[in-house]
Chain A
Amino acid sequence: MAAMPEGSAVLDFVGHYLVPGLVTGSIYALGAVGISLLFGILRFAHFAHGDVMTLGAYLALSLVAGLGWPALATIPLAAAGTGVITVVLDRAFYRPFRRRPTIISVIASFGVMLMIRSAVQLIWGVEPLEYKPGIEKPLIFFGQLRIQERHIWMVAVTVALVLALHLMLTRTRMGRAMRAVSDEPDLARVAGISAERVIQVTWFIGGALAATAGVFIGMDSQIDSYMGWNLLLPIFAAAILGGIGQPMGAAAGGLVLGLIEELSSYPWIGDDPLISPDYKSGLAFAIMVALLIWRPTGLLRGRQF
């Protein structure tokens, strides 16, 4: 471990490593929470989740273009729209297989993944697009610390959403029912809980959170039809890191993974990055493999995949 950076070096660390880590972590967290919730209730790995993010990002693009709103303001509508679409996709492509072995649903999710991506390419094209062209001036703190205002929003919105989800799961009737179905689906039926209602709500929440993450990516760079696909590995790694079926664990897993990715290229020893930024995406994969071998239940004792 290198000596703690001082003065402007601290600001450099915060601005160039810590904040980007929190931003990446927020995006992973929002995706991983959905993966984890859905796995808890439906017991299958939803491989189309990355493409649900893509869909949300593109819905926001149309809202930005159509209504002239800033991207941040389109999130509620884009998230709700994506949530509804995922509920409909469930009706059409997952519900018919509910009583069949879950591997069938996994395969179906590959099909849905391709369908969403193709639909996005058909509607919006294959070229990368931007919500708003040009460069935004960052906010400047302490004279030198430059932080983009959107990054503050992204982290704040993520924290708010994860907290709201936590309160929902622990304090509301539907939230408790979701946890009950996740624990023991048959026992939940005996208590009169309609699994289908719970499943619908879970899809909506998972889709809405994924869409929010998708919009964040668009706010930070550009969007293209493969953006979600490229995030699939880290969000699964984050969900496993947190303990699959443990939504709060998945949120923490996303944040930790984002921070590890960004902080790993900080020059902790000497003047060169500890790990070249080129290996960022390999890092998520390495963490996932290591977890599956040595701690498959994740950090928070979740289910085994």
Chain B
Amino acid sequence: MLLEARQLFGGYGGMDILNGVDVAVEAGEIVVIVGPNGAGKSTALKAIMGFVPLKSGHVAFAGADITGKVPEDLAALGIGYVPHERNVFRTLSVEENLAMGGYLRREAIAAAAARIYDLFPALKERRRQRAGDLSGGQRQMVALGRALMVQPRLLLLDEPTAGLSPSVIEEIFERIQVINRSGVGILMVEQNVRAALSIAHRGYVLATGRNRFSDSAAALLANREVAEAFLAGVGNGGDA
């Protein structure tokens, strides 16, 4: 098991948003977390990444206990994280964003950056532009590229397609599959539920901070109860 989070309880400042979340990712899997607004999807990712204090629960990565570790340490262990908002260094150029992603590697940054440009050719010609001046889709590519520079074995993606146009959404999902096929496990929170489940291996449906359904992506898509309760009308709105 690449990632195993068990019975996560916690939240910000006494407010419990997570009331017992279980999430696991096998090596090579794409796993999606869906659910209504306020279900605790983003908070679960942040808790795994060490941004949200846990009251109880355990997180293990590649067999080692990482509960309570800070984000800096998790990056060094090989977990990449792309937040929903503020996910690029706005005043840094595309090139510098990637270099910062490779901050821990010190050497071979150029070669790693070249692979990112292969994955997202649109970034190559814009590599000297300020990331803050790019379009939403390009910024998401910079964010993904930056996270990949950490050379992660696991990538946590918080709503990677939020606010993007349908064609860009398709492109991002397609790139996520390419990244996954290169051996990177992916755990993502998504509002574009159907599209996300269609590229995923497994999925979790969260509601009020706990697991409601856990199944293969195909089974979740076929589940009428899930479809009626969670798939209809979900597609926009904030996160929690």
Contacts and interface: CB of A to CB of B under 8 A. Distances in A.
Contact of B90 (A184, A186, A191): A184
Select the residue from B70, B75, B90 with max chain A CB neighbours within 10 A.
Answer: B75
B70 A187 contact: no
A184 B76 CA distance: 19
Given A186-B71, A186-B83, A186-B86, A191 B92 contact: no
A190 B103 contact: no
A245 B90 CA distance: 13
B99 interface: yes
A192 B150 contact: yes
Contacts of B133: none
Instruction: Give the size category of B's interface with A.
Output: 20 to 34
Interface string A182-196: 111011111111100
Contact of B146 (A186, A191, A194): A191
Contacts of B149: 191
B90 A190 contact: no
Nearest to A301: B91
Contact of A183 (B71, B80, B91): B91
B49 interface: yes
B158 to A, nearest CB: 11
B92 A190 contact: no
A184 B91 CA distance: 10
Interface string A168-206: 000001001101101110111111111000000000000
A190 B49 CA distance: 8
> Interface SS of chain A: helix, strand, loop or mixed?
helix
A177 B103 contact: yes
A101 to B, nearest CB: 13
B104 interface: yes
Contacts of B86: 184, 186-187
B100 A177 contact: yes
Interface in B42-93: 49, 51, 70-72, 75-76, 80-81, 83, 86-92
Interface string A152-175: 000000000000000000000100
A182 B91 CA distance: 9
Interface string A240-273: 0000000000000000000000000000000000
B71 A190 contact: yes
Nearest to B71: A189
Contacts, number: 66
Select the residue from A173, A186, A191, A194 with max chain B CB neighbours within 10 A.
Answer: A191
Contacts of B104: 191-192
Contacts of A186: 51, 71, 83, 86
> Interface SS of chain B: helix, strand, loop or mixed?
loop
A188 B100 contact: yes
Nearest to B73: A192
B101 interface: yes
Contacts of B91: 179, 182-183
Given A173-B103, A177-B100, A180-B100, A190 B81 contact: yes
Interface in B142-186: 146-147, 149-150
B96 A176 contact: yes
Given A177-B103, A193-B100, A184 B89 contact: yes
Given A186-B71, A186-B83, A192 B89 contact: no
Contacts of B106: 173
B89 A183 contact: yes
26 contacts: A173-B103, A173-B106, A176-B96, A182-B91, A183-B89, A183-B90, A183-B91, A184-B88, A184-B89, A186-B71, A186-B86, A187-B83, A187-B88, A187-B89, A188-B100, A189-B75, A190-B83, A190-B147, A191-B103, A191-B146, A192-B103, A192-B104, A192-B150, A193-B72, A193-B103, A194-B72
Interface of A: 173, 176-177, 179-180, 182-184, 186-194
Q: List the 4 closest pairs (A to B, CB-CB), nearest first.
A: A192-B75, A192-B104, A189-B71, A183-B89
Given A184-B88, A191-B149, 11 more contacts: A176-B92, A177-B100, A183-B89, A184-B89, A186-B71, A187-B83, A189-B75, A190-B81, A192-B72, A192-B76, A193-B103
